Amino acid sequence: MVDMTADTDQNDAGELRTADGQPLKSSLARAQRRARTRAAILVAPLLLFVLITFVVPIGQMLFRSIHNDGFTMHTSISDGVKTPIMVNLRDWFDDNPRGTEPDEAAYEALVMDLRLLRELRAPGQVGTRINYEHSGSRSLFTKTARRADRLEAPFKEAVLDVDEDWAEPELWSAMRTASNPYTLSFYLAAVDMTTTPEGDIVSVDENRQIYINLFIRTLWLSALITGLCFLLGFPVAHLLAILPMRTSNLLMILVLLPFWTSLLVRTTSWMVLLQSQGVVNDVMVAMGIIGDDGRIQMMYNQIGTIVAMTHILLPFMILPMYSVMRTIPPSYARAARSLGATSWTTFRRIYFPQTIPGIAAGSMLVFILAVGYYITPALVGGSDGQLISNLIAFHMQNSLNWSLAAALAALLLFGVLILYWLYDRLVGIDNMKLG
């Protein structure tokens, strides 16, 4: 036994001390604190970066999907001063329950508010906000606000004189909804629902439903693309895993080659191949398989989206599967064979189950990428090959309804999280190997 008391001293209380008489505990804590601080300083830049570029924007997006103050607050562009707007009308909404017929007082409040809007040059902003819920309202607001100063009591008649549409209960219902900046109406809109003037939540007309179908289509196409990637990628990954290192490295370059070309180039090359005047159709016509007037439409529809996205996402399926397959020693298959299993049984019972972590990781990766894919469907999808992300982009760029875009994106996010959770329950996250 080596004598340890030289290093640590024990005082009367039984407390361990270091050689220079410090209590051992505090000395240890100090040493660990130093290490922790160093580690924290090292990761701080990344943490900050992730926080600023990832957590904050997502939080912003989630906030925007339930908050829109277009009807309640005006921010001056020149000096940033915030002015509450539509105050009178909001008071009237507070005093009268939903479904109340707008009376003279309501119209008076409206005219007062419109006068303020005119001063602030803000009728467009409020009109746009109401337009999200009730189309055609923007011009109504700008038009009426322009004449607001000249309107006199009785205000109801005067306003209705300007435009009959002010009498529509849907318009008043929309204004009531918008009078609270915190609202779930964007989520309702994102699942094709709306609030009736009586306050009931109902589905919108069958022919105006877009989002639910688009969500379903997005999920279905993503699942299909994932399935295709799996079917095409599995044999390739297997081949890569069993070939000698040199050959497989060469093949791996072919798998990775698409990563070295721009996404746009790859997508456009599919356009060149598949469009009705494209290479594939030309060859088939030349070979007499189809007639010149029977050219197959493979671009600007779902087929185009499926083909191009499968091709683009294939490497994301192959790589995780390959990395898992590579680690499966051939001795398992040999053992199974020596135990009397045919090659098919060996594959089914021994090889395949061990590749599941790779398949799961690849499928997860491809599916999540596909669900949020934007550029390829936008280019080759035509009208029925569009995915939900294309509509989100539309609301971001064209209709400028950011709250709806945020609600759609949030739904997508929740959907993926739910799938992730389901996956964890069914397969187990620790069963997934990403590399």
Partner 1 sequence: MTVTPQDEAFVSFDRVQKSYDGETLVVKDLNLHIGKGEFLTMLGPSGSGKTTCLMMLAGFETATHGEITLDGRPINNIPPHKRGIGMVFQNYALFPHMSVAENLAFPLEVRGMGKTERDAAVARALDMVQMGEFGGRRPAQLSGGQQQRIALARALVFEPELVLMDEPLGALDKQLREHMQYEIKHLHERLGITVVYVTHDQSEALTMSDRVAVFDDGRIQQLATPQALYEEPENAFVAQFIGENNKLMAEVTAIDGDTVHVKFDDGETGTALAVANTGVGTRTLLSIRPERVTLNPTNGANAVAAEVLELIYHGDHIRCRMRVHGNDEFIVKVPNAGGQGPLEEGQKLTIGWATRDCRALDA
Least distance (Å) from partner 1 to the CB of residue 43? Answer: 32
Instruction: Yes or no: say if 19 and 9 are a contact pair by the CB < 8 Å rule.
Output: yes
* Among the residue ranges 113-121, 157-165, 296-304, 342-350, the one whose residues contact partner 1 (CB under 8 A): 342-350
Least distance (Å) from partner 1 to the CB of residue 354? Answer: 6
* Continuous segment of H or E residues that includes residue 74: strand 73-75
Angle at 140 between CA 139 and CA 146, to 5 degrees: 85
Least distance (Å) from partner 1 to the CB of residue 425? Answer: 19
Q: x/- site string to partner 1, residues 304 to 333, per CB under 8 A?
A: -------------------------x-xx-
Size of the site for partner 1 (CB under 8 A): 18
Least distance (Å) from partner 1 to the CB of residue 430? Answer: 13
Instruction: Yes or no: say if 225 and 381 are a contact pair by the CB < 8 Å rule.
Output: no
* Among the residue ranges 53-61, 105-113, 341-349, 404-412, the one whose residues contact partner 1 (CB under 8 A): 341-349
* Among the residue ranges 8-16, 125-133, 229-237, 345-353, the one whose residues contact partner 1 (CB under 8 A): 345-353
Measuring CA to CA, how many Å separate 63 from each of 178, 258, 282? 16, 37, 51
Binding of partner 1 by 338 (CB under 8 A): yes
CA atoms of 111 and 156, how far apart (whole Å): 9
Nearer to partner 1, 97 or 353 (CB): 353
- Which of 204, 341, 393, 419 contacts partner 1 by CB under 8 A? 341
Least distance (Å) from partner 1 to the CB of residue 332? Answer: 5
Binding of partner 1 by 340 (CB under 8 A): yes
Binding of partner 1 by 135 (CB under 8 A): no
Nearer to partner 1, 251 or 328 (CB): 328
CA–chain centroid gap for 248, Å, is 36
Instruction: Yes or no: say if 290 and 284 are a contact pair by the CB < 8 Å rule.
Output: yes
Least distance (Å) from partner 1 to the CB of residue 181? Answer: 54
CA atoms of 153 and 159, how far apart (whole Å): 10
Nearer to partner 1, 75 or 343 (CB): 343
Nearer to partner 1, 139 or 354 (CB): 354
* Among the residue ranges 31-39, 290-298, 340-348, 387-395, the one whose residues contact partner 1 (CB under 8 A): 340-348
Binding of partner 1 by 354 (CB under 8 A): yes
CA–chain centroid gap for 148, Å, is 42
* Among the residue ranges 32-40, 339-347, 362-370, 401-409, the one whose residues contact partner 1 (CB under 8 A): 339-347
CA atoms of 175 and 132, how far apart (whole Å): 11
What residue has token string 């045919």?
Answer: 342
**Would you give the DSSP letter of residue 52?**
I
Nearer to partner 1, 260 or 344 (CB): 344
Nearer to partner 1, 39 or 339 (CB): 339
- Which of 350, 365, 391, 405 contacts partner 1 by CB under 8 A? 350
Contacts 24+ apart (CB under 8 A), 59-64: 61/406, 61/409, 61/410, 62/406, 62/410, 64/402, 64/403, 64/406
Tokens of 334: 């040999």
CA atoms of 210 and 139, how far apart (whole Å): 25
Least distance (Å) from partner 1 to the CB of residue 329? Answer: 7
Binding of partner 1 by 345 (CB under 8 A): yes
Instruction: Yes or no: say if 8 and 18 are a contact pair by the CB < 8 Å rule.
Output: yes
**103 Cβ contact list (under 8 Å, min separation 6):** 156
Binding of partner 1 by 339 (CB under 8 A): yes
Tokens of 213: 């179908």
CA atoms of 292 and 294, how far apart (whole Å): 5
CA atoms of 409 and 387, how far apart (whole Å): 12
Q: Of 121, 115, 127, give the one whose Cα is nearest residue 166.
A: 127
Strand partners, 74: 83
Nearer to partner 1, 184 or 341 (CB): 341
Strands 82-84 and 193-195: unpaired
The residue ranges that bind partner 1 (CB under 8 A) are 329, 331-332, 334-343, 345, 349-350, 353-354
